Structure 1
Amino acid sequence: MSPVSRARKKSPQPSTPSVNGLFKDVLRDFSAVAAEPGPFDVELLASEVLGQWWDLTIEGEPEGGEQLGLELIAFAQRKITPGAAALLAALKVLAETEEERTAAAEALAVVLSRGIPEPEWAGEVGRVTVGEIWRTGDVYGDETSLLCTFSRGDATLGLLALLDFTELGRVRDLVVIDEPHEVLAEMRTQIADDGELVVLEKVEPADAHRLLLDGIAATDGMDEPDVGEDYTRFHAVATAWLRALPEPSSKTAAQDWSDAQRDAAVDEFLGAVSFADVEAARNIARLLVDHGCRTEPADPLRVGPEKLARFLESLLGGEYEVEDEDLVPPVVLAWASWSASRNGLSEAASAALVEDVNEYLAEYLSDEDEDDDDLSDYLDGTESAEEALDVVARRKFAVPSLSTVIGDEELTDLDPSDPEQRRMLVIGDHPEYHESLANDEFDGTDGLRLALETTVVDQLWEDAPEEVWPAARTLLSRGLSREEVLGELVTVLENQLEETEEDRLDYDLEGYREALAAL
């Protein structure tokens, strides 16, 4: 949300005040406002007072000050001062609950009946004129910044809200802006600089009312919402100003998708993308659909980088169970590409989405393997974030484990970047040869095939020639197991062998590349 620097400045508050001390400070602040009429200042002061109580620790209030609003109103009613009248005039409009607003109105009537004049601005609190409303956000629809302008006389303020559609469209932050025209100018500059990935459009007031009403309700309904530091501070004034917006049209509640609808979406995806293990891929795709239904029931199949990042976080957090964790990266990446096409995203937006998802998947793999193989064993530190995913996938296919057993000896924590230790891992995959190898009786056809498999594993590790890994992925997409894929690649390599003048075996590199491409 930008620019935070232009948000209304926050007044320092004591960390653990007493109830009476807090109430006296509030009345003192409102006495100053009462002397210098200004409805905007009154509204913002009242909102800040109410907002500071959300997480404030109060001496003698073990319940966290839940009844502070009603207690403050009762306290003010007993004071025959202009500050008490100013406070109650503000709270009868700005208080968060109907009970508090009614109590404030009744208390104000009591104070006024004792001869205290009503503040000149009392009738203006909450009454604002709605101006232009704009929204800007990413083209995917993950987040939107909504700028609403409100005026009173010659003064205009802006309410900037950050909405998160990866989590029920909730409001993550609220900020009151002194210079909304400057924020709008920055939005337009952003569009000029990055128009292919950002959108800017006007919003009808009734639509803005619905977005903010639903978004604030979604956030307030959470036990421990993750919100910006200004959310509680401007919550009361935001909800008060919302009443000036036209009532939103009646909303049709999003219908939860049936199992049949969810399965149909998965079938559509699997009809466009092939996987060796279709059922395992189906499990992950169904989780993606279920995640969309849970977090965005109005549009479960919308795709965006943040939405997929939240899905991966849910996997790491154990919210979903996956049958084959190794399939998560290719399925999520394929889902991103398929969904981008399905949702009509531009080529630039699709490319940026895939790039972001690659980066998130690299982080996912790192976190997932935190207690398993160290991914640093598969990387040399020179790869970019987007390259890391493919490098790890390729090298993990070549060397899926760093431990093996040869004969009676268990070998652990081998270094896959060491060719000799890679060879030990290949040998460990073939226990049928262990006895003959131990007796130095291993030669002939079996010896050649093992040597060729070691060569293929080396080629996959080094990605040279670069045609080997695409050929392996092609074979995997046909349903072949890793063992079967290596066997096919060994056969292709064997068919290119030729004797050299030194009676040694070599292979025709160009012929090998052509044969791999033919797969």
Structure 2
Amino acid sequence: MAAPQTPYEAVLHAARDVAKLDCALDAEMLGTALLGSVYAVAEQDRAAAVREFVGRFLTATARRRTASATTIREVFAALVPDAAGAADVRPGAQAPAWSAQLGRVHPTGCYAYGDVYGDQTSYLVTFAYDDSQDGGPDHAVVALIDHNIGITKDVFVGGPAQRILGQVREMCATDELTWFREEDPGRVRVEVSRHLQITDGLSDLPSDGSLATDRALAAARLALLPAATTPPLPEPHELSHPDRERLIRDFLAGPEARRGGLGAIQTDDELSSLHFCLSLILDHAMSLPDADPLRWSPAVAGLFLLDWVHRRAVLDMDDAAMLPRVTRAWSAYATRRRGLPEAAVEQAGSVVEEMIDEFARLYATGERRSPATAAVAQLISEGVDPNDTAAIDAWIDANRHRLNDDPS
């Protein structure tokens, strides 16, 4: 058989057996996988790219009369109902009996679960077809939101719904570092959708999971949830200068700072390093999507100690020696303030300890410094005050031979 000449021919070829499937869910799973290919390769707004593709596909295949062509048109119209022409799609003469059940589902349960640190929240919604004989089995949509990067990191559609729900309940019941609750359907719709919009705009998608393949079906299901009836989750706000000062004073007066010997620091150099390191912890927190300096976890510690601080800050030897001490104490302080279980407090502290050697290595090699940070570090190493504009200009004039890209 000759290779398909257009993307639309390729879809028709891939869906050539769609009318032979057993139920609507099987067809919707095939359809979402096909649209996942479009989503994965889109360069900008991925959801818009899928919507535009479906609109063009419906136009290009409007005169097709085979059972597979008319059926996959119905499937796409059900998955992306806001695509151009979707509302005009009608069943074909050879439509399988289950085609009337495409998209005809209702939610039967809505839940949320996650880790006690607040790194990730998963939302799970179970659905049933109005007619399970033609529609197919109950199934679940699971969406994973990563609060450290502010995106819907993965979505998954699968079944049986009660098996998936049971596995999640059991996992959370046996792990004291996780929680589980019933959730308002409207909140699920709002939270997943707003984070999914950010995911749609990423240049590179998360590499693991079923985000691309299941995205169209998951979004279609979540769009069936009602509007929110509970207040939205609070939006993060940037700490004011007085708020930062109060938080630092509270930390320094606490038992964690005393145990780390931070409250007894007297010399000007050490005090300067102490407050600089505390400012780095707060600045890093403000760079995260939820901007809460008390939301501390092993993952946040890793982002801070092994990545952010090397790219964004210039540390002298005193700062590099002080930062592990401050980070240890902050880990204990933040987890206590949030009332986390003792196991979470211990885990966070242990992970920080394990990271200190790698932090020291990265500091010594400078391999994760950004170009701007490396430039400032070079100025400081040569005795130039990075806050002195005249001194910087003089240094540039004296080093033009090193800065000039032209070897001549």
**TM-score, structure 1 normalization:** 0.58
Tell me the residue number matched to 1:349.
344
Mark the runs of 5 or more structure 1 residues left unpaired by the alignment: 1-16, 58-63, 373-519
Q: SS at the partner of 2:210?
A: coil
Q: Does 1:315 align with 2:308?
A: yes
Tell me the residue number matched to 2:102.
125
Q: Is the 8 A contact 1:281 1:327 kept in 2?
A: yes
Q: How does 1:47-196 map to 2 (within 5 A)?
A: 47-56=32-41, 68-95=53-80, 98=82, 101-106=83-88, 108=89, 116=93, 120-152=97-129, 153-154=131-132, 155-168=137-150, 170-195=151-176
Q: Is the alpha carbon distance of 1:145 and 1:363 closer, same or farther for their aligned partners in structure 2, counting shifts above 3 Å?
A: farther
Q: Is the 8 A contact 1:136 1:145 kept in 2?
A: yes
Tell me the residue number matched to 1:262.
244
Q: Is the alpha carbon distance of 1:134 and 1:361 closer, same or farther for their aligned partners in structure 2, counting shifts above 3 Å?
A: farther
Q: Give the alignment partner of residue 12 of structure 2, picking from 24, 27, 31.
A: 27
Tell me the residue number matched to 1:237.
217
Q: Structure 1: which amino acid aligns with 2:350? A: E
Q: Is the alpha carbon distance of 1:328 and 1:19 closer, same or farther for their aligned partners in structure 2, counting shifts above 3 Å?
A: farther
Distance 1:140 1:124 in 2: 41
Q: Give the alignment partner of residue 335 of structure 1, picking from 327, 330, 333.
A: 330
Q: SS at the partner of 1:224?
A: coil
Which gives a bigger RCO, structure 1 or 2 (Cα 8 Å, sep 6+)? 2
Q: Structure 1: which amino acid aligns with 2:226? A: P
Q: Is the 8 A contact 1:92 1:102 kept in 2?
A: no
Q: Give the alignment partner of residue 204 of structure 2, picking from 216, 219, 224.
A: 224
**Which whole-Å deviations, capped at 9, do the CAs of 1:29-85 have from their partners, x for residues lacking one?**
54532344622122211111111123459xxxxxx9996444422321132333232
Q: Is the alpha carbon distance of 1:367 and 1:19 closer, same or farther for their aligned partners in structure 2, counting shifts above 3 Å?
A: farther
Q: Is the 8 A contact 1:172 1:227 kept in 2?
A: no
Q: SS at the partner of 2:138?
A: strand
Deviation at 1:279, TM superposition (A): 2.6
Tell me the residue number matched to 1:462.
none
Q: Structure 2: which amino acid aligns with 1:327? A: M
**TM-score, structure 2 normalization:** 0.73
Q: Is the alpha carbon distance of 1:253 and 1:348 closer, same or farther for their aligned partners in structure 2, counting shifts above 3 Å?
A: closer
Q: Count how many residue pairs are aligned between Structure 1 and Structure 2.
A: 340
Q: Is the alpha carbon distance of 1:261 and 1:179 closer, same or farther for their aligned partners in structure 2, counting shifts above 3 Å?
A: same
Q: Is the 8 A contact 2:148 2:300 kept in 1?
A: yes
Q: Is the 8 A contact 1:263 1:286 kept in 2?
A: no
Distance 1:157 1:66 in 2: 24
Q: Is the alpha carbon distance of 1:291 and 1:125 closer, same or farther for their aligned partners in structure 2, counting shifts above 3 Å?
A: farther
Tell me the residue number matched to 1:421.
none
Q: Give the alignment partner of residue 301 of structure 1, picking from 270, 294, 298.
A: 294
Tell me the residue number matched to 1:439.
none
Q: SS at the partner of 1:141?
A: coil
Tell me the residue number matched to 1:199.
179
Q: Is the alpha carbon distance of 1:38 and 1:105 closer, same or farther for their aligned partners in structure 2, counting shifts above 3 Å?
A: same
Q: Does 1:280 align with 2:273?
A: yes
Deviates more, 1:363-372 or 1:210-219: 363-372
Mark the runs of 5 or more structure 2 residues left unpaired by the alignment: 43-48, 368-408
Deviation at 1:300, TM superposition (A): 4.2
Deviates more, 1:246-255 or 1:47-56: 246-255
Which structure: larger Rg? 1
Distance 2:162 2:358 in 1: 39
Q: Is the 8 A contact 1:136 1:201 kept in 2?
A: yes
Deviation at 1:329, TM superposition (A): 1.0
Distance 2:358 2:122 in 1: 27
Q: Give the alignment partner of residue 366 of structure 1, picking from 355, 358, 361.
A: 361
Q: Is the 8 A contact 1:56 1:65 kept in 2?
A: no
Q: SS at the partner of 1:135?
A: strand
Q: Is the 8 A contact 1:314 1:320 kept in 2?
A: no
Distance 2:4 2:72 in 1: 16
Q: Structure 2: which amino acid aligns with 1:271? A: A
Q: Is the 8 A contact 1:133 1:202 kept in 2?
A: yes
Q: SS at the partner of 1:355?
A: helix
Q: How does 1:420-435 map to 2 (within 5 A)?
A: none
Deviation at 1:120, TM superposition (A): 4.5
Distance 1:23 1:139 in 2: 46
Distance 2:40 2:205 in 1: 12
Identity of aligned residues (%): 24
